Structure 1
Amino acid sequence: MEKEWWKKAVIYQVYPKSFLDTNGDGIGDIKGIEKKLDYLVELGIDAIWISPVYLSPQIDNGYDITDYRKIDPMFGDNHDIYHLIDKAHEYGIKIIMDMVANHTSDQSVWFQESRKSKDNFFSDFYVWRDAKEDGSEPNNWGSNFGGSAWEWDQNRKQYYLHYYAKQQPDLNWENPRVRQYIYDMMRFWKAKGVDGWRMDVVTSISKDLHFPDNPNPHGKPYVVGNQNNGPRMHEFIHEMNQEVLKPFSMMSVGESPDSTSQDATLLVDPEREELDMIFTFEHMHVDRAQSGVNGRWDIQKMDLIKLKKILSSWQINLRGHGWNALYFENHDRARVTSRWGNDKKYRYESATAFATILHGLQGTPFVYQGEEIGMTNPDFEIEDYEDIELLDNYRELVLEQKTISKEAFLKAARKISRDNARTPMQWNETDNAGFTTGAPWFKLNPDHKEVNVEDDRKKDTSVFKYYQTLIRLRHECKILTEGSYELLYPEDPNVFTYKRMLDGETWLIVVNLSDTQFELSDYLPQVLKKETLIIANYRDRTNTDGLLRPWESLILAIS
């Protein structure tokens, strides 16, 4: 079972830049992670996923890598990460490194050499194409960050492909040398003790070499039949599994933006030997207006009926065919309490309600730093944001195309921007929230005086303590990891109710995701012979009498 340790685990994501600064330069560092290992042990987590700390110009906050084997000086040095890995292992905590295999930084020596000529060792490490006869781009693909997916390079007199920022050229996975260089890098980190990988946009590594135009003239990179997933994607991931993941028993979770639960089984079915888990974006789009022309910036109220349908499809379709990765927050996702909850009147209740839904499902829960104390989105102005995706989209959609007003864009940014999750971790109520003694690299959320680790752990209504209990249940109760799943009341627009069942035992999860109260009895079986309250986020809840209050959540063992 040790080979599948992640099935019983809860994994904590650290965004190092914003976690804890130990040298006063305003930027979080590796020693800051090590300093908080006691805190993470107290929370009860099993592994840390560390967002990229490799050498990088930080165009996309480290997801533009210059050297996969070298730690960026802003975070420390290689000895710091080696020491952290060893120390974490002493605490019984595993280390998951973040890997970007789809692209590098344009400052990488691979790209700097590749752009010099069409006939050197690195010339075929990236996706280069000639201009059309009229000098225009090879096709109409748009970058995920706005603008064209093609950038002209004056040295080679060719265009190179970039699915993301122009400073993030896409690697050419058709070249076997590229693949071996990536696998060798993975072996390097395994030798240092790394236990697994989170793989950034890994399903984009294969490109359709026919480069068909996207029917949508402003569309993203496009592949006929399945957007972004190229024709050799499964072949490449299986090869990576055989070369590195399987021989070294390394856990893998891949980011697969466009995957549905039907697609997922091809990626995570153990018999296919590709990945252990994937992160889907599907459930995170339930507040996106389908008819909008501005992509993710056209937002609407969260559709709970749709959320239930999507999460349920993953529970049902992956059962016996793979394993779920469970999340609501990460470095690319806003704070769920602000995005879908009520962070003003019911912050504690909202935070614990969403946690109950997630940790009650089958799969491995991922907790993002600050989620365990109910951190919220800050109400920033446009000039306060740092994220290249937001700034590029603002320039393109608001200033150039004028398809959305500044006010509407800002409203959306305050709900869904990636920067909402990247404000410094709130350790205490001091001026810099205990994050740094210097000037923080990014503005703090002003609510850190009220929302911080130190204060939350003292409260009776503590988000941290609630997470501790959920994590303990995950470790102790087989019904959460092995039980079957059944959704109840799928068309209810306010309450998420489902059952988990194993060996004659049934747990009922009931979560009110609204400011309204309801009769709790309406969501319970007609005859309860016996009931045991496993956990509830209202501390005065001792039985099933009365009302289901705003943002109330509970788990019952019933018979």
Structure 2
Amino acid sequence: MEKKGNKHWWDQEVIYQVYPRSFQDTNNDGIGDLRGIINHLAYLQKLGVTMIWISPIYKSPMVDMGYDIADYQAIDPQFGTMKDFDELLEKAHARKIKIIMDLVINHTSDQHDWFQQALISPDNPYRKYYIFKTTKDGKRPNNWRSIFGGSVWTEVKGEPGTYYFHTFAAQQPDLNWENPTLRQEIYKMINWWLEKGIAGFRIDAITHLKKDLDWANIPADGIDGLAAVVKKGQNRPGLNLFLDELKHETFDKYQALTIGEAYGVPEKDLGRFIGPTGYFSMIFDFSYMNIEVKSADEWYRGKTDWDISELKKTLFESQKAISQAQGWSANVLENHDQPRVLSKLIKNPTERTPDAAKALATMYYFLPGTPFIYQGQELGMKNFKRQSIIEFNDVSSINNYKMATAEGYSPTEALEIVNAKSRDNARTPMQWNAEEFGGFSKVKPWLEMGNDRTGINVSAEEKQADSVLNYYRKMGRLRSDSVWQQVFSTGSLAEIKNVPANVIAYKRLLGKKQILILVNLSNSKQIVSCSAQNVILNSQPQLVIDGHQVSLQPYQAVLLT
């Protein structure tokens, strides 16, 4: 990708996340592939998408669905070939659609050649690419708990008392970022992809690179006698040195777009991450994405009793913090690690309607920053419901189920928790039509289809003027409209507070132009006082304006000037 003159060249982008395994299968093996993305570029362009974020397609044994990389510079055969990727890049660019990749540099697969070399002997130079510890008593070096459950330490076969470290699954050994030789290898790989022509990266688990080097035990926080690794291996002092060097050696050279998956960043540090000279272009804010659980990683610990007022407060506090840091926001409702927003934020199952899906879309899409759409979100796709833990694929779901039952939850209760929060919810195949396998494939998919999908597919929704899909298309056209584009991309934000508790209201302002966004997230009519009269977008057919009062029907959203 050629260098760009505007530092914030991404301020008018609309990004669509493709989970390739579940997007479109073109060779009838039940697994989506790169040709499936190529075949739907026109669909994405019509949606107003200007950039595609592709979840991992690197060579991988798929223990964590591609987030365990065995070769950073090879495409996994189940997705296609590097030739297919180059064709995707070329055809996307022809439609003025950029491509960003998923970058996983906290860990690799245990099948990566580096790790396989490291296992040969303690003296092998690749052993210093990872974190190995040998203890005198043969016991694990400390009591830290992996994010996926169990100890962060796995014993090396044939070397009693020697362990390797993994923040996530045992098949995902952490890279040793203290080793400058390893870091240079990573930078070389990143620049290879940027030279190829991609526009940037979404960067996975980036706040885990630095660990506390005392490797000390800490007070247990569970009945397993272990303590969460995030207390010693997330946002630790010294992380800034790695992130500064990473940026300088790679991203800065290409003005690449970078989106950090940065769990746990304190508000006071936001400027360092996304300020004018920050490590990244933007980071995801999970404060409202995880509003329904007590712990983002260990969600077996239970749900919160949140309401719309709390959602509203969290949403605007996030925007305020990012603005004060002079940063840029990555606005997102769903991704590959989150349940479907319609099932998550609409508590009553009977109210998970197209109207509710459009209201939620309006709520986030016009906030300052870059909107992200996760595949199927634009259709109003919902969570599945599985009857047994054996029906789940996601390693995190299976581990959370095990930990929940160990903590005293009944199997029924544990299954309910997993059904609600499982990452598999977002990974069910894309629903292109109403066929048995949703037009995703002609054979049984790698993961069962969703089981609440009547009328929720591209083919049906394209024919309905008031569908969720066509509403997303309208939002895309409005956001790129020459009259309003600058208001949305660079205008300021003002929360409107004198509204009913279940209404989210804000203005976008630029010079003399201003747009009022009103979203009713309740099942009853809500009255809002305002002077705006001109409707530029309405999620429902009618809107009642009586003088200076707007009557919002249940789950109605409007934009007014």
TM-score class, shorter-chain normalisation, is over 0.9
- Which of 342-351 and 147-156 deviates more? 342-351
Counterpart position of 1:553: 557
Counterpart position of 1:180: 184
What is the SS of the residue equivalent to 1:270? coil
**Residues 300, 403 of structure 2: 8 Å contact kept:** no
Counterpart position of 1:393: 400
Counterpart position of 1:87: 91
- 2: CA distance, partners of 1:338 / 1:446: 13
**Residues 301, 404 of structure 2: 8 Å contact kept:** no
Counterpart position of 2:320: 316
- 1: CA distance, partners of 2:168 / 2:180: 23
Deviation at 1:80, TM superposition (A): 0.7
Counterpart position of 1:332: 337
Unaligned runs of 5+ in 1: none
Judged with a 3 Å threshold, the aligned counterparts in structure 2 of structure 1 residues 196 and 409 are, in CA distance, closer, same or farther, namely same
Asked if 1:249 corresponds to 2:255, the answer is: yes
Asked if 1:264 corresponds to 2:270, the answer is: yes
What is the SS of the residue equivalent to 2:453? helix
- Which of 165-174 and 144-153 deviates more? 144-153
Amino acid at match of 1:186: I
Counterpart position of 2:502: 494
Judged with a 3 Å threshold, the aligned counterparts in structure 2 of structure 1 residues 221 and 346 are, in CA distance, closer, same or farther, namely closer
Q: Please report the TM-score for the alignment, with normalisation by the length of structure 1.
A: 0.93
**Residues 116, 156 of structure 1: 8 Å contact kept:** no
After superposition, the C-alpha distances for 1:72-115 in whole angstroms (9 at most, x for unaligned) are 11101111111111111111000000010000000111111112
Unaligned runs of 5+ in 2: none
What is the SS of the residue equivalent to 2:249? helix
- Which of 101-110 and 482-491 deviates more? 482-491
- 2: CA distance, partners of 1:495 / 1:136: 55
Deviation at 1:294, TM superposition (A): 5.8
Judged with a 3 Å threshold, the aligned counterparts in structure 2 of structure 1 residues 101 and 117 are, in CA distance, closer, same or farther, namely same
CA RMSD of aligned residues (A): 2.1
Q: Please report the TM-score for the alignment, with normalisation by the length of structure 2.
A: 0.92
The match for 2:53 among 37, 49, 53 is: 49
Asked if 1:412 corresponds to 2:417, the answer is: yes
1:329-478 pair list within 5 angstroms: 329-341=334-346, 342=348, 344-381=350-387, 382-398=389-405, 401-476=406-481, 477=484, 478=486
1:268-287 pair list within 5 angstroms: 268-272=274-278, 274-287=279-292
Asked if 1:515 corresponds to 2:523, the answer is: yes
**Residues 17, 27 of structure 1: 8 Å contact kept:** yes
What is the identity percentage for the equivalent residue pairs of Structure 1 and Structure 2? 39
Counterpart position of 2:151: 148
Judged with a 3 Å threshold, the aligned counterparts in structure 2 of structure 1 residues 19 and 222 are, in CA distance, closer, same or farther, namely closer
The match for 1:236 among 242, 245, 251 is: 242
- Which of 485-494 and 280-289 deviates more? 485-494
What is the SS of the residue equivalent to 1:122? helix
- 2: CA distance, partners of 1:531 / 1:215: 59
After superposition, the C-alpha distances for 1:323-344 in whole angstroms (9 at most, x for unaligned) are 0111010000111011112554
**Residues 9, 475 of structure 1: 8 Å contact kept:** no
Judged with a 3 Å threshold, the aligned counterparts in structure 2 of structure 1 residues 409 and 515 are, in CA distance, closer, same or farther, namely farther
- 2: CA distance, partners of 1:156 / 1:200: 31
Judged with a 3 Å threshold, the aligned counterparts in structure 2 of structure 1 residues 60 and 431 are, in CA distance, closer, same or farther, namely same
- 1: CA distance, partners of 2:529 / 2:514: 12
- Which of 508-517 and 194-203 deviates more? 508-517
Counterpart position of 1:196: 200
What is the SS of the residue equivalent to 2:168? coil
Amino acid at match of 2:171: Q
- Which of 57-66 and 456-465 deviates more? 456-465
Amino acid at match of 1:540: Q
Deviation at 1:429, TM superposition (A): 0.5
What is the SS of the residue equivalent to 1:330? coil
Deviation at 1:306, TM superposition (A): 2.6
Aligned residues: 544
